[in-house]
């Protein structure tokens, strides 16, 4: 991405930064530091070292032979983010931002978490990099996700329940920003998706783009050509933007984001402002952000990253919504045909792919970004199917 665009933090009319002046100063400094290190060979060498030795990259691009035969159309490949340490793509961004935090001299890392997945990834990396770690989590969410709270504590993090507001993710984000403004000298705010005010969407995309950097090299090695489509689920949009990044300038590759039909930000949202940036957002009749409900905790967010908002408007990427029933079918199908239990989030991408693949030719190729493994969801699926 061009450095001017990185500086401005705008994707068409979306993105930007709409925050109080005290916070803006801190974000400006963060943006400068990110610009300074993102092309620094030593910094990138360190990122690659931990990507290999700690995350376990590169992960495979697995040919799904049985699934391909069953769907009867395009050849299906799975990008295996589920095989990363801690079981999803989230750790890519966490390691990248922690290395930046270290360069900036931070001793303390704070983060927000909804269901707990980003909090656990952050607590994990903080343990390894010997950083003090504080996770803000809505009080309501700490009750519903008690086991993830324990996981974070086990990893040495302090979990702060936020009772303000509705005691949900948004309130946790507000508390984390308030902490940052108070303690910016030694504290780094590690945000978990390609959302929020500049420079977060650009920074998260940068670290997650390792997904498509690898998949592009891998598909050319295996097939000698580019895929016809890349499909990923979209919550805030970080795994999808990482899976799309290196294909953005390849017009023959369709980029497809999939969201829950109960949180259809990209398929039904309107331009608006949320949490300090402009994006497509779901509003209720009063013009307030609409509560969303998804069986996949990582996709439950009324807004979406600014770059996806722009990709939707420009038409470079397509977005589709799938139902809970379709997601549950896809979850079981991958388990049974390939012996891989996918995260419910990733099952959204699979649910759409199984509708698309049969309509494509046998000489065509799709890559599905398998953003995470499904162990965390097995209990919930058990309740839904047998409960």
Ligand X SMILES: *Cc1c(COP(=O)(O)O)cnc(C)c1O
CB of 130 vs ligand X, minimal distance in Å:
25
346 binds ligand X (CB under 6 A): yes
CB of 30 vs ligand X, minimal distance in Å:
19
Nearest CB to ligand X, comparing residues 209 and 346: 346
Element (H, E) at 248: none
Q: Are 366 and 321 in contact (CB under 8 A)?
A: no
Nearest CB to ligand X, comparing residues 110 and 120: 120
Which sequence positions are flagged as catalytic? 90, 112, 371
The four Cα atoms 201, 205, 207, 208 give a dihedral, to 10 degrees, of 130
CB of 165 vs ligand X, minimal distance in Å:
21
Nearest CB to ligand X, comparing residues 83 and 343: 343
298 binds ligand X (CB under 6 A): yes
Which is nearest to 249 in space by CA: 171, 170, 317, 155? 317
Of 234, 258, 282, 350, the residue at the interface with ligand X (CB under 6 A) is 234
Nearest CB to ligand X, comparing residues 245 and 360: 245
Positions in 326-345 near ligand X (CB under 6 A):
343, 345
Query: Given the rule CB under 6 A, which of 39-47, 126-134, 234-242, 353-361 is the region that contacts ligand X?
Result: 234-242
Nearest CB to ligand X, comparing residues 94 and 101: 94
263 binds ligand X (CB under 6 A): no
Query: In this structure, what token pair is assigned to residue 23?
Result: 């916070």
The four Cα atoms 353, 359, 363, 367 give a dihedral, to 10 degrees, of -10
199 binds ligand X (CB under 6 A): no
Question: Alpha-carbon distance 226 to 223, whole Å?
Answer: 8
CB of 327 vs ligand X, minimal distance in Å:
12
Element (H, E) at 257: strand 254-260
Positions in 91-150 near ligand X (CB under 6 A):
117
Question: Alpha-carbon distance 347 to 278, whole Å?
Answer: 28
Q: What are phi and psi of 66, to 5 degrees?
A: -70, -40
Query: Given the rule CB under 6 A, which of 214-222, 232-240, 267-275, 285-293 is the region that contacts ligand X?
Result: 232-240
236 binds ligand X (CB under 6 A): yes
Site map (CB under 6 A) of ligand X, residues 3-22, x = contact:
--------------------
Q: How many CA atoms lie within 13 A of 208 on its CB side?
A: 30
Question: Alpha-carbon distance 214 to 222, whole Å?
Answer: 12
237 binds ligand X (CB under 6 A): yes
Site map (CB under 6 A) of ligand X, residues 309-328, x = contact:
--------------------
Which is nearest to 79 in space by CA: 210, 266, 176? 210
CB of 315 vs ligand X, minimal distance in Å:
20
Of 33, 86, 88, 187, the residue at the interface with ligand X (CB under 6 A) is 88
Site map (CB under 6 A) of ligand X, residues 353-382, x = contact:
------------------xx----------
User: In the 8-state DSSP scheme, what is residue 227?
Assistant: -
318 burial class (0-12, 13-18, 19+ CB within 10 angstroms)? middle
CB of 279 vs ligand X, minimal distance in Å:
13
292 binds ligand X (CB under 6 A): no
218 binds ligand X (CB under 6 A): no
Q: How many chain residues bind ligand X (CB under 6 A)?
A: 19
Furthest C-alpha separation in the chain = 57
User: In the 8-state DSSP scheme, what is residue 53?
Assistant: I
Nearest CB to ligand X, comparing residues 98 and 349: 349
> Which three-class secondary structure state does DSSP give residue 92?
helix
Q: What are phi and psi of 318, to 5 degrees?
A: -110, 150
Of 212, 215, 238, 265, the residue at the interface with ligand X (CB under 6 A) is 238
User: What is the DSSP track for 307-363?
Assistant: HHHHHHHHTSEEEEEE-HHHHHHHHHHHHHHHS--B-HHHHHHHHHHHHHGGGS-TT
> Which three-class secondary structure state does DSSP give residue 145?
coil
CB of 387 vs ligand X, minimal distance in Å:
23
Give the interface with ligand X as residue ranges (CB under 6 A): 88, 90, 117, 193, 233-240, 298-299, 343, 345-346, 371-372
């Amino acid at each position: 991405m061009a450095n001017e665009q990185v500086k401005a933090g705008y994707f068409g009319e979306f993105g930007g930064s709409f925050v109080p002046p005290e916070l803006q100063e801190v974000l400006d400094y963060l943006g400068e530091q990110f610009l300074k290190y993102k092309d620094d060979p030593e910094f990138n060498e360190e990122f690659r070292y931990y990507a290999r030795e700690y995350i376990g990259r590169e992960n495979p691009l697995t040919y799904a032979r049985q699934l391909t035969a069953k769907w009867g159309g395009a050849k299906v490949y799975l990008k295996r983010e589920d095989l990363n340490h801690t079981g999803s793509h989230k750790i890519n961004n966490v390691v990248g931002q922690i290395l930046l935090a270290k360069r900036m001299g931070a001793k303390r890392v704070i983060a927000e978490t909804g269901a707990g997945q980003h909090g656990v990834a952050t607590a994990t990396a903080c343990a390894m990099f010997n950083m003090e770690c504080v996770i803000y989590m809505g009080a309501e969410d700490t009750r519903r996700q008690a086991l993830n709270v324990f996981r974070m504590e086990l990893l040495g993090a302090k979990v702060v329940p936020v009772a303000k507001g509705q005691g949900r993710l948004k309130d946790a984000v507000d508390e984390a920003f308030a902490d940052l403004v108070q303690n910016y000298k030694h504290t780094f705010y590690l945000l978990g998706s390609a959302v929020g005010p500049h420079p977060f969407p650009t920074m998260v995309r940068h670290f997650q783009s390792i997904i498509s950097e690898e998949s592009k090299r891998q598909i050319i090695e295996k097939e000698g050509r580019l895929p016809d489509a890349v499909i990923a689920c979209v919550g805030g949009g970080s795994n999808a933007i990482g899976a799309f990044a290196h294909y953005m300038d390849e017009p023959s590759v369709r980029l497809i984001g999939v969201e829950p039909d109960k949180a259809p930000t990209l398929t039904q949202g309107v331009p608006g402002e949320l949490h300090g940036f402009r994006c497509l957002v779901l509003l209720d009749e009063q013009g307030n952000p609409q509560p969303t409900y998804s069986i996949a905790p990582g996709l439950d967010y009324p807004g979406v990253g600014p770059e996806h908002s722009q990709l939707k408007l420009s038409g470079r990427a397509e977005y589709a919504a799938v139902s809970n029933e379709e997601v549950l079918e896809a979850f079981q199908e991958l388990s049974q045909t390939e012996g891989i239990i996918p995260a419910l989030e990733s099952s959204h991408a699979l649910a759409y792919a199984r509708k698309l693949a049969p309509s494509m030719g046998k000489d065509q190729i799709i890559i599905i970004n398998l953003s995470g493994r499904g162990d965390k969801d097995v209990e919930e699926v058990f309740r839904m199917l047998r409960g």
